[in-house]
Amino acid sequence: MPKKPPRIAASILRWILPPRDRDYLLGDYEESFQRKLEEKSALAASLWYWGQLIHTAPEYLLESLYWRIIMFKNYFMIASRNISRQRLYSAINILGLAVGLACCIWISLYIMNEVTYDTFHSNINSIYRIKRINYEPDGSVGNQNWHFPPIMREQLSAFFPGMELHTRYNTGYGVVSYRDKRFPEFIGMADAPFFQIFTFPLISGNPQTVLTRDDAIVITQNAAIRYFGEEGPIGKILTITRGNTQKDFIVTGIAEDVPQNSTIQFNLLINISNMPFTWEYPPALTTWRSFNTPIFCLLEESADVKNVENKFEPFYEQHFSWYTEKQRSEGSWNRDDNPFAITLQSMKDIHLNPDVSGGSSARSLYILSGIALMILVIACMNFVNLSIGTSSFRSTEVGIRKVIGAQRGQLIQQFWSESIIMVVLSMIVGIGLAASLLPVFNELSGEQFVLKDFYSTNNLFVFISLAVVAGIVSGCYPALVMANLNPVEILKGKLKFSGKRMFSKSLVIFQFSLSIILIISSVILRAQLKYLVNTNVGYEREGLLSISIQTGDDQERFVNLYKNKVVQHSGVLAVSACEAVFGVGFSELSMEKEGKEMNFHHCQVGYDFIRTMGMKILEGRDFSNEIASDEEEAILVNQAFVKELRFESPVGKTLGNPSRGHPYNLRIIGVLEDYHFRSLHTEIYPSMLHVYPSNGLRFMIIRIRTSDTQETLAFLERAWEEVRPGENFIYSFLSDAQGSLYQNESLWSEIVQYSSLLAIIIACMGILGLTAITVNNRVKEIGIRKVLGAKITQVINLIIKDFIILVAAANIIAWPIVFYIMHKVLEKYPYRIDISIHYFLFSGLASSLIAVLTVLWFAVKAATTNPVDSLRYE
């Protein structure tokens, strides 16, 4: 028995060697091996064999790569010929894939923006925000937030040695002016270490000292240009006016504009010691009773987060035990532990955290990527379907290749490389598409994306792999089918490509199901949005205008002055004022009633408010400036308020005194029909209106005639300038402001709408291609049918019938899925539409109609062809 070469090495070698000469080469290796055996020991011969393998393998691989490139040139040539010969199918494939890939680019831009939120802070891993976890009365975890009494910061250093730096951050409001420029602004407020903790690069100013002074102000480049234009801002004085007080600030630093993907946004930043001033709330920094300000801290790199978090328990005992006591005495907390716990939240988790409201949730990113992938998948399916459909044209080529000696693997490679070539072409078109339609996407998403952000190595890698995977997946089925064809059957002409084609059909059903899911969702989301925007909110929105009053010196007098000036104008129907525009801002008060705390909205309004708004009084009367006591004690409440207090006959009842510093007991003079003070995301809340002065009136509310809006607006502006010289005339229509409450809904509704449009277009392009193929394959059948007396309508019917069945099947699959999804989506709205059958019927009908219209052209063309033309060669 002669000795054999090592088996493993031989099989590896077998796998590496070029297939053409594999057997001869194996023979050569064996011959040399046998010779070595004669000369040396068996071990030496085996070692030699292994050595040869390791030594020569790279050479063979390089060589095979060389030939593969030569073969690929051939594949490329064939592919480009095919693409240019079958223009319709190629266009469908490339366009469809390009649209799918463009969607992927947009979505990835969006997702990148979301996941890179705040990552520009170089200390991000050590920055934490102090978080508060509230517990429900039964001890379960309730909502979470991050507002604390500002004074808390002063106690942190004593308690937490591992905490290097910490800062509070909040925003205040004021009118900022420099010479003749005045702008109402939200002003950031922070402690001195702010610029050491966060990475907001300063163009000038020292990060350690820039905010130490009480009257220091740091402005962004953008704000610098707005206030100072070309002048150098450093050392200039900006004046902030809030209420009746003014304060001067010295510009000590200029920061680069805050990146869009930052949680903390500011244009102007002052020391938080000014909070009592910008909030018009003197005890802001000294009270423990008001939870209003986020606190950020920087831990030492070596610090153990768990350790720090554990210390918050004794911290609570020392500083917040009063809160537990208060809750207990009010009867709203009966447990032994505390009603909330303090802990830390990493800066990394702030933006994409659904637990803490205010960030966008990671789930919406999944949904978005899902939608983009759905469109891509629909496009890939077109590719698969069209390749299968056109395979009859290619079968002869495949047969010849096989006869000449192409191996199965080579054919698979050929078809794969063709699909990858297609995908590369679509990629180029897709990038072009994404770039040219980026403004549309920006408008849709409300962000400012630039394609430049997309060109990072990481992204391109992901994108190209996505494209290659799409190419391989969609080339997979055609490649395998074609490679497995029997060459003898092909060349004898025995092969049939008709048959049931279940695979193609199920792909079409799948495509249409996805499209229909998107279509119905978009219809329902739109209906819900429309419902939210148009629902009767308890007052008349059209023609209602609010003008913001920026400085607060003696507002009541000013309101009357302006009112008297404009109320006579023919375009003005009614004039009043209020503290907060409906739906946008509100303030909340609490009141004790029979030992229970009750929260409600309150809002200071001017006289005539009810008439101006068009609200309905159910009982009692409106405020009247002829009754002197109204200014001191009269309130109007809504039905929800009455219900909460369980009053039988509310009018005339007196309440306690819930307002800070108000000397009178409040008396209900009327009940208003429930109105939506806030957005329809929340249920109607108890609320009350009063005319006694509280925080001051901040908005004029004017109802104008809707016929000549422009003329009236111009008049109002002129009047404004006379009464408030130098103050900007900033107005908005309440109907617009209401719309902006539902920005999120309208964004999603538009996203789904656009994607359903794209999905149905791509799916239709697919069936367009399929019809073309069907008609092509059945041209003789149709000819014979016509010769035998078939009518045109019968022939059209023959072709269309199939597709209608497919679309109907897709509808049946899509309906329950979409019903489930939409049911889940709508659940979270207290005010919502019913998901009624007509949305489904409408979409089903629309999708079938679109499908039929797509197919019709080819069907008519096929049906009207003269049978002589199609049968002349038989």
Partner 1 sequence: MKYLTRQEELVLLSVFRLEENAYLISIQDHLNHFTNKDWSISSVYIPLSRLEKKGYLKTTIGEVTEKRGGKAIKYYQVTKIGLKALAELEAINETMWSGVKGLAEKAESS
Give me the least distance between CB of 45 and partner 1, in Å please: 13
* Residue 483 beta carbon to partner 1: minimum distance, rounded to whole angstroms: 25
CB 681 within 8 A of CB 829: yes
Residue 801 touches partner 1, criterion: CB under 8 A:
no
Residue 5 lies near partner 1 (rule: CB under 8 A): yes
| Residue 133 binds partner 1, judged by CB under 8 A | no
CB of 57 to partner 1, least distance (A): 8
For partner 1, the closer CB: 8 or 853: 8
Rounded to whole angstroms, the Cα distance separating 216 from 187 reads 12
The CB-of-13 to partner 1 minimum distance in angstroms stands at 10
Q: Does 56 bind partner 1 (CB under 8 A)?
A: yes
Contacting residue, 21, 136, 554, 722, with partner 1 by CB under 8 A: 21
Tell me how far the alpha carbon of residue 64 is from its chain's centroid: 48
Chain centroid offset of residue 818 CA: 20
Residues 575-614 binding partner 1 (CB under 8 A) are none
Nearer to partner 1, 26 or 747 (CB): 26
Q: Does 453 bind partner 1 (CB under 8 A)?
A: no
Interface with partner 1 includes 54 (CB under 8 A)?
Answer: no
Q: What is the DSSP string of 765-778?
A: HHHHHHHHHHHHHT
For residue 10, give the DSSP letter: H
Distance between CA 519 and CA 849 in Å, rounded? Answer: 13
Q: Give, for 670, the enclosing helix (H) or strand (E).
A: strand 667-672
CA distances from 78 to 67, 392, 491 (A): 17, 16, 20
Residue of 8, 15, 23, 81 interacting with partner 1 (CB under 8 A): 23
Cα 204 from Cα 684, distance rounded (Å): 49
Could you tell me if 289 and 236 are in contact, meaning their C-beta atoms sit under 8 angstroms apart?
no
Q: Which lies closer to partner 1 via its Cβ, residue 35 or residue 861?
A: 35
Residue 677 as a binder of partner 1 (CB under 8 A): the answer is: no
Q: Is 4 in the site for partner 1 (CB under 8 A)?
A: yes
Binding residues among 345-404 for partner 1 as defined by CB under 8 A: none
Question: How many amino acids of this chain bind partner 1 (CB under 8 A)?
Answer: 23
Looking at the Cβ atoms of 48 and 562, the one nearer to partner 1 is 48
49/110 with CB nearer partner 1: 49
Q: Is 776 in the site for partner 1 (CB under 8 A)?
A: no
- Smallest distance from the beta carbon of 79 to partner 1, in angstroms? 24
Name the segment binding partner 1 (CB under 8 A); options: 24-32, 521-529, 588-596, 735-743: 24-32
Minimum distance from residue 27 beta carbon to partner 1 (Å): 3
Residue nearer to partner 1 on the CB measure, 71 or 112: 71
DSSP line for 447-502: S---GGGG-SHHHHHHHHHHHHHHHHHHHHHHHHHHHTS-HHHHHHT-----S--H
Select 52 or 659, whichever has its Cβ closest to partner 1: 52
Q: Which of 12, 30, 373, 548 binds partner 1 (CB under 8 A)?
A: 30
Q: Which residues of 163-201 are buried (b: 16+ CB within 10 A; e: fewer)?
A: bbbbbbbbbbebbbbbeeebbbbebbbbbbbbbebbbbe
**Choices 22-30, 115-123, 239-247, 527-535; region in contact with partner 1 by CB under 8 A:** 22-30
Distance CA 241, CA 281 (A): 14
The nearer residue to partner 1, 46 or 555, going by C-beta atoms, is: 46
Determine which residue in the list 6, 12, 34, 362 makes contact with partner 1, applying CB under 8 A: 34
Of 26 and 362, the one with the shorter C-beta distance to partner 1 is 26
| Residue 542 DSSP SS3 | coil
Neighbours of 418 (CB within 10 A): 23
Considering only 18, 314, 432, 439, the residue that binds partner 1 (CB under 8 A) is 18
Q: How far is the CB of 373 from partner 1 (least distance, A)?
A: 45
First to last CA, the chain: 67
- Helix/strand/coil for 600: strand
Interacting positions 59-78 with partner 1 (CB under 8 A): 59-60, 63
- Identify the residue whose tokens are 């609570």: 316
CA 184 to chain centre: 29
Nearest CB to partner 1, comparing residues 23 and 248:
23
Stretch that binds partner 1, among 23-31, 94-102, 144-152, 717-725 (CB under 8 A): 23-31
Between 112 and 406, name the residue whose CB sits nearer to partner 1: 406
Least distance (Å) from partner 1 to the CB of residue 413?
Answer: 19
Q: How many CB atoms lie within 10 A of CB 272?
A: 25
What is the rounded distance in angstroms from the CA atom of residue 328 to the CA atom of residue 325?
5
Which residues make Cβ contacts (< 8 Å) with residue 382, sequence separation at least 6? 92, 93, 96, 97, 511, 762, 763, 765, 766, 769
| 259: DSSP letter | P
Q: Which is nearer to partner 1, 36 or 602 (CB)?
A: 36
Which of 19, 27, 139, 585 is the binder for partner 1 (CB under 8 A)? Answer: 27
Residue 2 binds partner 1, judged by CB under 8 A: yes
The answer to whether 135 contacts partner 1 (rule: CB under 8 A) is no
Give the shortest CB-59-to-partner 1 separation in angstroms: 4
Exactly one of 6, 12, 32, 620 binds partner 1 (CB under 8 A); that residue is: 32
Strand 596-604, strand 687-690: pairing: parallel
Q: Cβ 418 to partner 1, closest distance in Å?
A: 25
Report the nearest approach of partner 1 to the CB of residue 849 (Å).
Answer: 60
Tally of CB atoms within 10 A around 209: 13
For 40-70, b/e burial (b = at least 16 CB within 10 A) is eeeeebbebbbebbeeeeeeeeeeeeeeeee
- Name the site residues for partner 1 (rule: CB under 8 A): 2, 4-5, 18, 20-21, 23-32, 34, 52, 55-56, 59-60, 63
